[in-house]
Amino acid sequence: MKKSLLYIGGVGLLGGLLVWYFKKQADLLLQYKVDIVGVKFNTISTKNVNMVISCKLTNMSDIEVQVNKMYMDVAIEGQNAGYVINEKVFAIPSHGYNYIDLNIAFNPKLILTNILGIGLGVAQNKDIKIDLKGFANIKSGFLTTKLEIIIFVKKSDNYGRFY
């Protein structure tokens, strides 16, 4: 009787330690920061607006992570303009960073803000509000988790390359 209680207690303790360990590892994976380092409008026309948002992904944990996929919904001036999927696999070292460019192309007719307003906003240095909301699948060892990413960009923010 006592042996079976010891076995059950030992298995329970081992299970609890494993749960604690994996939770601690998952919490370490979630220590990240996303910074916008540049926004560039490549093409502005009545049929297509093409832009690149450069992001710096910083890993603040002690674990190197691998980003497998990024998905973000794009809203410009509060109107849904589409989405970005980046399936390029890249690593972010522990206490390090990596840069990624998000290419965004959309038809300005699909959003209520017309192309003239966006073009004049860029030319006159007025704010153009761009919201990116989504997630990134990250992996370290055999642990995989999903990071929520929310980025708000406006032209008056002082980025290195916003033109």
In-domain check, residue 150: yes
Percent of the chain residues past pLDDT 90, beyond the cut: 1
In-domain check, residue 23: no
| Residue 158 in this model has a pLDDT that exceeds 80 | no
Average pLDDT over residues 22-32: 65
In-domain check, residue 57: yes
CA distance 91 to 100: 11
The per-residue pLDDT for range 73-130, each reduced to its tens digit, is: 888 777 787 788 888 888 888 889 999 888 888 777 766 454 555 555 555 555 667 7
pLDDT score at 123? 52
pLDDT score at 24? 66
Q: Residue 95 belongs to a domain with what CATH number?
A: 2.60.40.10
In-domain check, residue 140: yes
CA distance 42 to 105: 10
Q: Which domain holds residue 61?
A: 31-162
Strands (E), 60-106: 65-76, 79-86, 90-92, 97-106
pLDDT score at 159? 45
In angstroms, the Cα distances linking 65 to 62, 73, 86, 139 are 10, 23, 16, 6
In-domain check, residue 143: yes
Query: Is this model's pTM higher than 0.85 or not?
Result: no
In-domain check, residue 17: no
- How many domains does the chain contain in total? 1
